């Protein structure tokens, strides 16, 4: 009788520990399933292209993780991404160098994050409402800036950034790796990271210990916006231009990648490796669908289903 009770008591703990590795496990299962379905999936060329495609979402999700770790959410990334890309396109199309355009794009992404951080951290407005409002406002500014048209960016540097590398290692991979290492270093190896986790874990307790929680939340959204700007530059490099369209899929996938990767929507918990695996998983899903010839109309259904799964897994981790 006692053994049976112990077994039942241990099950939630086992489920919770398994949920910690949900993203890597799901990624392996998905790759095996696609390999069984088609031999064209696990080829060197396809995996290389898949990883390059996943880097933009990876950088975006790493930024989203800063907002999530303090118990918030950044819905504005769906508009901030094309906004940063549009700033790069607008700057270069008006005679400025690509270097200047990249700086303007990154600073533009940072500016959106700063505004979000001020409203959430300083004025204590609800993060969902603030970033939803930013999503609409920034999307409108992007359309005004580009007149609703895609802005072509002809740059050999950006082309080489997207296509070349060192031997088999592509530059995009290195960018994503550097971003992941920097984010991991900030969250797990600095006092700022400790304050970010503490703020998301227990806000009032963090405030009582002397942590400037308003400033920390402001910083979290600034970092999210900064990485969104970097992702915008990568998007232009990969596509050869700036598309002003709202990037809803990137928004949903960035949130799901963070949660599926091991972070908690209630804050106070982060997993950089899990977030990276979550981003690769979503890209693999789209890639596999394309190879199998599955209609693109099923893709948002799959993304939404995995998002719901990520929310369910997050519940088991509590």
- pLDDT tens per residue, the chain (318 residues)? 554 545 554 556 655 566 667 788 888 998 999 999 998 998 988 998 899 999 999 999 999 999 999 999 999 999 999 999 999 999 999 999 999 999 999 999 999 999 999 999 999 999 999 999 999 999 999 999 999 999 999 999 999 999 898 888 899 999 999 999 999 999 999 999 999 999 998 888 999 899 999 999 999 999 999 999 999 999 999 999 999 998 988 998 899 899 888 888 888 889 999 999 999 998 999 899 999 988 878 877 887 787 787 777 766 655
For residue 187, being part of any structural domain is answered with yes
Look up the domain containing 98 and give its range. Answer: 56-247+262-270
Q: In b/e form, how buried is each residue of 234-262, taking b as 16+ CB within 10 angstroms?
A: bbbbbbebbbbebbeebbbbbbbbbbbbb
For residue 299, being part of any structural domain is answered with no
What number of CA atoms fall less than 13 Å from residue 57's CA on the CB side? 29
For residue 289, being part of any structural domain is answered with no
For residue 63, being part of any structural domain is answered with yes
Task: Write down the pTM of the prediction.
Answer: 0.91
Instruction: Name the domain count of the chain.
Output: 1
What single DSSP character describes residue 72? Answer: -
For residue 302, being part of any structural domain is answered with no
For residue 304, being part of any structural domain is answered with no
């Amino acid at each position: 009788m006692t053994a049976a009770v112990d077994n039942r008591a241990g099950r939630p703990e086992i489920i919770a520990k398994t949920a910690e590795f949900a993203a890597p496990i799901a990624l392996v299962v998905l790759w095996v399933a696609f390999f069984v379905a088609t031999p064209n999936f696990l080829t060197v060329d396809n995996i290389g292209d898949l990883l390059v495609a996943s880097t933009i979402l990876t950088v975006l999700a790493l930024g989203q993780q800063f907002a999530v770790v303090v118990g918030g959410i950044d819905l504005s990334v769906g508009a901030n991404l094309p906004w940063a890309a549009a700033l790069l396109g607008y700057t270069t199309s008006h005679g400025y160098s690509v270097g200047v355009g990249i700086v303007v794009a990154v600073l533009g992404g940072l500016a959106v994050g700063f505004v979000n951080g001020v409203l959430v951290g300083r004025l204590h407005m609800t993060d969902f409402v603030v970033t939803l409002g930013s999503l609409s406002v920034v999307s409108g500014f992007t359309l005004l800036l580009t007149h609703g048209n895609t802005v072509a960016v002809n740059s050999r540097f950006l082309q080489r950034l997207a296509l070349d590398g060192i031997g088999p290692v592509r530059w995009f991979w290195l960018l994503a790796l550097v971003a992941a290492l920097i984010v991991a270093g900030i969250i797990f190896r600095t006092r700022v990271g400790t304050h970010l986790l503490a703020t998301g874990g227990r806000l009032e307790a963090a405030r009582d210990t002397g942590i400037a929680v308003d400033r920390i939340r402001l910083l979290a959204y600034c970092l999210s916006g900064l990485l969104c700007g970097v992702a915008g530059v990568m998007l232009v490099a990969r596509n050869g231009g700036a598309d002003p369209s709202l990037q809803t899929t990137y928004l949903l996938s960035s949130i799901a990648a963070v949660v599926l990767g091991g972070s908690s929507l209630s804050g106070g918990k982060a997993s950089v490796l899990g977030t990276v695996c979550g981003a690769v998983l979503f890209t693999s899903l789209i890639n596999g669908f394309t190879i199998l010839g599955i209609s693109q109309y099923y893709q948002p259904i799959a993304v939404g289903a995995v998002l719901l799964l990520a929310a369910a897994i997050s519940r088991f981790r509590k």
